[in-house]
Amino acid sequence: MKQTLQDNTEIFERMPVRRAVHTMALPTIISQLIVLIYNMADTFYIGRTNNPYMVAGASLILPIFNISLSISGLAGIGGGALISRLLGEKRQDEVRKVYSFCIYLGIAVAALFSAAVLIFMKPLMYQLGAGEDTYRYASSYAFFVIVCGGIPTVLSNILSTLLRSVGESKKAGFGITMGGLINIALDPLFMFVFLPDGKEIMGAGAATCLSNCIACAYFILVLFRMRKTTVLRLCPPAALPTKKSIGEIFFVGIPSSIATLLFDLDYVVIDRLMSGYTDIALAAVGIVLKAERLPLNVGIGICQGMMPIIAYNYSAGNHRRMNETRRYAMKLGLACALGSVLLYEIFAGPIMRIFIQDAQTVALGTTFLRIRVLATPRMFLSFFHVYLFNGFGKGAYALFLGVTRWLGFNIPMLFALNGLVGMYGIVWSQFAADILTVILSFAVYRHYNRKTFLNYSSQT
């Protein structure tokens, strides 16, 4: 029996909070982990070549790939949070127009970004820190992953987020998970069977591009089959939402994209500073930056599952349920983050050896990973508050926290500790900066809570 929109209101309105958060978050966490695993699978298979320059080339593209995903945040997070709030207000006609606008917006911006990367490929790679030994690998990987695969990658993530915004978390998670598993399966075929030696990184890029195209096709098919039972129906481009709705999409979507861009700028700065030491150090930190995303992606999955429930109940005026959701999601995320710290401290060496066998890279990366993972609980709390304000539709608060975190704390800390301590200062910067970020996040939330929910103090 097909699930209808009316069925999905059970998740938002009546289902016990723990069950509702698990129902929304679990598929999202699984899909986040699979996305991470398929990103790490490229590094894993490339690492089988024992060519640190090839590993470094792939690592340089990670920030650019994540920047392309920030485009999906513009339409996906901005539109998804608004759709959940509109459903809480029972404005289904406006939901359809918002959904359509987000799709067209995502396609247009993704096409422009892919074209820009193609045109400015060489100066971009060198600005990221590519040397003569890494440029040819980095540019080859970027061509397939960013230039050819940009639109389907962005569109898949937008459609996944918009499905989640109406309670279809399982379908959203399955599509992303399927794309990731296909990528993992295709990687060795393209890298070691279809293409000759020395072209492994090209094979990894082609496999990623194809898998994202398949995932995009899945989402299009699912939405077509759901067209009679969901408010997510495509309208003509001329059927625009209200000016207020368009403003709210950008008001939340732009801060979300900026926060993601600044997150990736942090990675760019890390790569750039680390490239000033050795290519071995660059390869080691590239693996660490991917490995540390495992617990972080679990936390992001919890936040993404929480946000539609928060947004719906905020708009519907059910602040008791909203606050119960907030408290439980925060406890769940912190428990996962603390567990990951313990596991990474114990298994840092074996984790590094999964990706590469070069002894120097493994030794350096093991130390790097044990340091970086200490920041995980604070990193979760930082992202948690940004998603919380996105759910409220308060993009200005989310923007303030994101900009302050990266431009006020993290990136200045990178340069300061690099100058004071050297290479290991780069690795410790996240731990130091997020102490300040978490203090600021709780202070801003408490200020907002006192200002906005004073009448509901007995429920908080």
Q: Which of 97-111, 231-245, 295-309, 371-385 has the lowest mean pLDDT?
A: 231-245
The model's confidence at residue 1, banded by pLDDT at 50, 70 and 90, is very low
The boundaries of the domain holding residue 319 are: 5-459
**pLDDT for res 452:** 66
Q: Residue 7's pLDDT is what?
A: 47
**Could you give the number of structural domains in the chain?**
1
Residues 365-411 pLDDT 10s: 888 999 998 999 999 999 899 999 988 888 888 889 988 988 899 89
Range with lowest mean pLDDT among 86-90, 233-237, 376-380, 445-449 = 233-237
pLDDT over 80 (residue 445)? yes
The secondary structure of the chain, three-state, reads CCCCHHHHHHHHHHCCHHHHHHHHHHHHHHHHHHHHHHHHHHHHHHHCCCCHHHHHHHHHHHHHHHHHHHHHHHHHHHHHHHHHHHHHCCCHHHHHHHHHHHHHHHHHHHHHHHHHHHHCHHHHHHHCCCCHHHHHHHHHHHHHHHHHCHHHHHHHHHHHHHHHHCCCHHHHHHHHHHHHHHHHHHHHHHHHHHCCCCCHHHHHHHHHHHHHHHHHHHHHHHHHHCCCCCCCCCCCCCCCCCHHHHHHHHHHHHHHHHHHHHHHHHHHHHHHHHCCCCHHHHHHHHHHHHHCHHHHHHHHHHHHHHHHHHHHHHHHCCHHHHHHHHHHHHHHHHHHHHHHHHHHHHHHHHHHHHHCCCHHHHHHHHHHHHHHHHHHHHHHHHHHHHHHHHHHCCHHHHHHHHHHHHHHHHHHHHHHHHHHHCHHHHHHHHHHHHHHHHHHHHHHHHHHHHHHCHHHHHHC
pTM over 0.85: no
Does 458 score more than 70 pLDDT? Answer: no
The residue-averaged pLDDT of 105-129 equals: 88
